[in-house]
Amino acid sequence: MRFATLPNGTPDGRLHVVSRDNARCMPSEVAMTLQAALENWDALKPDLEKEYARLNQGGGQAFDMSQALAPLPRAWQWLDGSAFDSHGALMDAAYKVKAEKIPGKPLMYQGVSDRFYSGSEDIPFPTEDDGIDVEGEFGLITTAVPMGTTDTLPHIALLVQINDWSLRKLGPPEMKTGFGWVQTKPACSVAPIALTPDELGEAWRDARVDLPLTVEIKGEKLGAPQGYDMGFGFDQLVAHAAYSRALPAGTVVGSGTVSNENCREVGSACIAERRAIEMIDTGAPEMPFLEFGDHIRMECRAKDGSPLFGEIAQTVTKA
């Protein structure tokens, strides 16, 4: 199934079912919001599947993804992992800021969840001097997860595509305080469509998205790294988060920046990684961080080229 949230004048918008080709949609009569659907997912899922089947047989209205909000415009929790080992290794080597990792446990932080930007709105920042960067990620949305749950796959309701905006020049000072990120991590952007894992077919493998995420900066390709190379699967990330807390329905969990060991061949999903490669290879970074007016684009498509999450296409602006 595929879902989007369209504006209706309320903070949470109106839940719509989206057709398999992302061309049409219709308001769900089963649940008014995605949050409401997630809070009673097991009971409502059969009726949501019936709505999805009817829509794919025809009908509905044209779906304009540029009008959609984030699938969950706000959420109870946003927990972002750093599950791609190659990304962490590059950051450590280039910036000499080594995270203290606990063997067998993923890195994870809790970020802003009261607001997720849509995939099409302009994104405001205080100043270009903070090192504005993108981070292309995959993510998931859970049903309610009891504390201590280890078999978490049944609680992964939906998958999403995320741009985890970062202010790179604020990151190292905040990390050194030992209190974590606040200013470094503004609100994220989420592509317009959330889909159930079965929509990926064989590309949903080992609780990972086995597909490339294409990232473009100012019309030029930054990279298309594969999502499968996670050191921890999404099921493990959810289990880590739920170790000492219950996760409410609608918790969003991110993979961290998609990254591959052969990044010099496939490229990167963030500017910082490109700059890290330049620092390692030549001793100095060359690619600049984003400036006001710069346009970014991210998209993941199925292996046959068909659309999945829709695209994130945004312009950086002055707050």
pLDDT tens profile 303-319: 999 999 999 999 999 99
Same domain, 151 and 257: yes
Q: Which amino acid is at 98?
A: K
Q: What is the DSSP letter of 63?
A: -
Domain that holds residue 6: 1-63
Same domain, 82 and 196: yes
- Cα-based angle 203, 208, 213 (whole degrees, multiple of 5): 70
- Is this structure's pTM higher than 0.85? yes
Q: Is 71 in contact with 158 (CB distance < 8 Å)?
A: yes
Same domain, 249 and 163: yes
The answer to whether residue 71 is domain-embedded is no
Give the chain's domain count: 2
Q: In the listed set 16, 34, 63, which residue is the last one of a domain according to the structure? A: 63
Same domain, 166 and 271: yes
Same domain, 124 and 270: yes
Q: What is the pLDDT of residue 99?
A: 62
Same domain, 217 and 292: yes
Rounded to whole angstroms, the Cα distance separating 279 from 281 reads: 6
Same domain, 10 and 56: yes
Number of residues that this document lists for the chain: 319
Q: Model confidence over 15-69: pLDDT tens digits?
A: 999 999 999 999 999 999 999 999 999 999 999 999 999 999 998 999 999 999 9
Weakly modelled stretches of the chain, pLDDT under 50: none
Three-state DSSP at 125 gives strand
Same domain, 58 and 85: no
Q: What is the pLDDT of residue 97?
A: 61
Q: What are phi and psi of 26, to 5 degrees?
A: -155, 145
